[in-house]
Amino acid sequence: MLGLKSTMSIIDNSGGLVAECIRVMRYKSSMGLGRVGDEVVVVVQKAKPIPANQVSSASSNALKVRRGDVRHAVIVRTKKESQRPDGRVVKFDDNACVLLNNRKEPLGSRVNGVVSSELRERGWGKILSLASKVV
């Protein structure tokens, strides 16, 4: 579970490094806690610097986010353990997310690192196809 004001790593290649959760887009009964597969609203706290020669160019590999941007994201890893239907308990070393664009698609073209397989059940198959490893 991930609460409000939690920080998490951004593991796609959109240019963001660290984000802070400010809202969990889920049912009212969630009490502000998010889990793997939930959509959240985040503020980018730390981002890669944008080089001066890339500011005016609109190339596809350009960095897409800056510090202070408010974006939607999907939680892909949580420190809090979760139990799967077969009885296994899974927990990760950190909290992580993938940024989304306006059409609810991943903003980056690659997902670096491990993501949880619960994303498939929650309807985020596109993120799983971009990920290098699914656990």
Which fold, 6-47+66-134? Ribosomal Protein L14 (2.40.150)
* pLDDT at residue 28, as a whole number: 60
Strands 7-10 and 111-115: unpaired
Count of other CB atoms within 10 angstroms of residue 79: 14
Q: Report the C-alpha gap between 98 and 9 in whole angstroms.
A: 9
**pLDDT tens profile 86-133:** 999 999 999 999 999 999 999 999 999 999 999 999 999 999 999 999
**pLDDT tens profile 35-82:** 999 999 999 999 998 777 765 555 555 578 999 999 999 999 999 999
pTM (whole model) above 0.75:
yes
Domain spans of the chain?
6-47+66-134
